[in-house]
Amino acid sequence: MPEFDLIVRGGEIHDGLGSEPMSGDIGVLGGKIVAIGQVTGVGREELDARNAIVTPGFVDVHTHYDGQATWETRMSPSSNHGVTTVVMGNCGVGFAPCRPEQRDLLVNLMEGVEDVPEVVMTQGLPWDWETFPDYLDALDRRIFDIDIAAQVPHSALRVYVMGERGAAREPPTAADLAAMRALTTEAILAGALGVSTSRNMLHRSRSGDLAPSLHSQEDELRALALGLRDAQAGVFQLIPEVFGDAAQEFALMRRLAETAGRPLSFSLVQPATGDPKAWKTSLDLLAKANSDGLPMKAQVFPRPVGYLYGLDLSFHPFSLHPSFRPLLELPLGEKVHALRDPAMRARLLSERPEDGNPVFLSTVEAFRFAVPLGDPPNYEPDLEEQMGRQAARRGMSVAEYAYDLLLAKEGRAIFFMPAANYREGNLKIAREMVDHPDTVLGLGDGGAHYGMICDASFPTFVLQSFLREASAGCDKTLAATVRGLTSEPANLVGLGDRGRLTIGAKADLNVIDLSGLRLHAPEVVRDLPAGGRRLQQRANGYRATIVAGAVTYREGVPTGELPGRLVRGARAQPS
């Protein structure tokens, strides 16, 4: 008679807490870890982990699966990279709470801010909720390949309370503030992990309107913080004004953390323009806040935050040109055929991009900074390879130079533009951010930016980076690297029952062959509702991913097991 549901045998065990690794087995029963070391019993299923490392499942605290979780069971691409728990509802955008007459507004906002096509949401979202507790109940009825958790988004909350006044970014009344405070508390008590907002001026609807949460005054943000204080739970997640004064933005965040009496996390990048030292100012102030006892963390990204361009993606040099508009919805092969017509080439090269959304226009213009991504993808490119520089060397415009390159690989060529964390042309600043004691890995944005970003692969990139740096003599340990992907993000959002391999912890694990680890280039698939397009990114080296004791992926291939569930509220660490 088997004594365990699963035994993972003979691996190099990294507990996710930074301890020295040990060789041994892990026994799982009832979805929890019940034995670590030399396990002598028999498992109903046994996995051979020899010549591999065994880690906790990775935790990604910055995703946007708010829509995808309502129509799909697989939270890919995150679940393709060892992630076993995701937290969504970041950046103040989402789909709850929402009255029926407000649905189009939230769809338009999500399309603009997070690049989720409107037709995908129109056909995919079941809208079997109105309040945020209703939304959690709807998610609770579903099953997934990994666990999901949600935060209540400020923009949706504001519109729910204020209607058109909220969408128009009018100031709230005292009654509005009281309602937002009460609804934040209600959401947290129903199981939300926190509340999120955005002050990023780049966050706009598809039509170019600013997100409702932008320009919110401190009294409104304070109402959200007080909602957390009233619930005595939850995390405040915030995107500060990227191009604002770093000291002023941090002072505001510190006051919010003090008001809430709860942890606060914020997105931190070094943008391509503006004060090049603002990130350093934020980290210095963050260290001071933590030394003063405030639980504040910065979410940082381990490589350049960047855009992907391609003929079959959301943006490329001609995507907003008038003559390209009729081609937008055509199959890729037909686009390629049309662009090979000399007359079409002449028309497109004579036009300029046109759109009512200034962010979209600047995104297209930024193509001049893009480089070929390659396969395997190169996330630390030589800036001399930028399109603008290459074109100048040839005496050509960027459009002329890019035209034929876009048609490479039958239109499947992808180009990468490092938009943040890469002003010096290397990853030095990104590594400094990651290594800071008060930062947490995040900003992968899985479930969003379907046609322009595929950063949910960052756990695989982090492991590959460790291997490269270790061979170059870097003193960072694999144990510390694993901790950054597991217990540190789990602790940030209060999920102490995972991100660690200890007795009583949730049995979420990865078995990884580091010698075979490989990250492939992103590729376009059309598996969203209405045949919608998105980027996927595969990886080799993951022998198995396990959620609640069930093997969900073997060698990167889904097994069909769907043990993932909605996580309501914080979870205590196993005693």
Structural element, H or E, at residue 461: helix 458-471
72/199 same-domain check: yes
Q: Among 101-115, 524-538, 552-566, where is mean pLDDT lowest?
A: 101-115
| Spatial contact of 117 and 533, defined as CB atoms under 8 Å apart | yes
Q: How far apart are CA 117 and CA 456, in angstroms?
A: 19
- In angstroms, the CA 211 to CA 194 distance is 19
Of the pLDDT bands very low, low, confident and very high (cuts 50, 70, 90), residue 113 is confident
Tens of pLDDT, residue by residue over 381-435, are 999 999 999 999 999 999 999 999 999 899 999 999 998 999 999 999 999 999 9
Q: Output phi, psi for 309, to 5 deg.
A: -120, 145
The pLDDT value given to residue 204 = 61
In this prediction, residues 170-181 reach a mean pLDDT of 97
- The span from the CA of 13 to the CA of 21, in Å, is 5
Question: Global pTM?
Answer: 0.95
**CATH number of the domain that residue 17 is part of:** 2.30.40.10
Residues 326 and 372 in one domain: yes
**Residue partners of 110: CB distance under 8 A and separation at least 6:** 66, 67, 93, 94, 95, 116, 121, 448
pLDDT of residue 205: 59
Could you read off the pLDDT of 196-205 as tens digits, one per residue? 999 876 656 5
pLDDT category, 458, cuts 50, 70, 90? very high
Give the rounded percent of residues in the chain with a pLDDT score beyond 90. Answer: 86
Find the range with the poorest average confidence among 184-193, 359-368, 419-428, 472-481: 472-481
3-14 pLDDT, tens digit per residue, is: 999 999 999 999
- What is the edge-to-edge ordering of all strands in the sheet holding 415-420? 305-309, 415-420, 371-372
* Total domains, the chain: 3
Mean pLDDT rounded to a whole number for the chain? 94
Let me know if residue 29 belongs to a domain: yes
Question: Do residues 93 and 64 lie in contact, with contact meaning Cβ atoms separated by under 8 Å?
Answer: yes
Q: How much is the pLDDT for 474?
A: 75
pLDDT band, very low/low/confident/very high, at 519 (cuts 50, 70, 90): very high
Residue 499 in any domain: the answer is: no
Identify whether 232 is part of a domain: yes
Task: Answer whether residue 573 is part of any domain.
Answer: no
Strands 305-309 and 296-300: unpaired
User: What is the tens place of the pLDDT at every residue in 276-317?
Assistant: 999 999 999 999 999 999 999 999 999 999 899 999 999 999
**Domain identity same for 211 and 168:** yes
Among 441, 462, 492, the domain-final residue is 492
- The residues, ordered by sequence, that sit 6+ positions from 288 with a Cβ below 8 Å of its Cβ are none
- Tell me: do 230 and 263 sit in the same domain: yes
Does a structural domain hold residue 565? no
* Distance linking the first and last C-alpha atoms of the chain: 29
Mean pLDDT value of segment 177-200: 96
Q: Are residues 86 and 127 in the same domain?
A: yes
**Distance between CA atoms of residues 63 and 525, nearest Å:** 20
The string of pLDDT tens digits covering residues 12-44 is 999 999 999 999 999 999 999 999 999 999 999
At 213, the pLDDT band (50, 70, 90 cuts) reads confident
Burial code (b: 16+ CB inside 10 Å, e: under 16) for 450-478 equals bbbbbbbbbbbbbbbbbeeeeeeeeeeeb
User: Percent of the chain scored above 70 by pLDDT?
Assistant: 98
Residue 497 lies in a domain: no
Q: Do 158 and 293 lie in a common domain?
A: yes
In a domain, 547, yes or no: yes
**Do 481 and 407 reside in the same domain of the chain?**
no
Same domain, 29 and 161: no
Assess whether 235 and 114 both reside in one domain: yes
Long-range contacts at 393-399 (CB < 8 A, ≥ 24 apart): 397/349, 398/317, 398/367, 398/368, 399/317, 399/318, 399/348, 399/349
For residue 66, give the CATH number of its domain.
3.20.20.140
End position of a domain, from candidates 469, 492, 515: 492
pLDDT average, residue stretch 124-137: 97
Per-residue pLDDT, 345: 96
What is the pLDDT at residue 469? 85
Q: Closest by alpha carbon to 354, among 329, 323, 328, 326?
A: 323
Query: What are the helix (H) ranges across 102-245?
Result: 103-114, 118-124, 132-140, 154-162, 164-167, 174-190, 218-231
Phi and psi, residue 257, nearest 5°: -65, -40
What's the confidence (pLDDT) of residue 360? 87
Amino acid 357: pLDDT: 84
| pLDDT of amino acid 203 | 56
Same domain as 379, residue 429: no
Higher pLDDT, 306 or 519: 519
Same domain as 466, residue 517: no
Least reliable range by pLDDT among 64-73, 209-218, 523-532: 209-218
Q: 315 is in which domain, residue-wise? A: 307-418
227 in a structural domain: yes
Q: What is the pLDDT of residue 110?
A: 79
Q: Which amino acid appears at position 421 of this protein?
A: N
Residues 411 and 538 in one domain: no
Helices 132-140 and 174-190: crossing angle in degrees, nearest 10, is 20
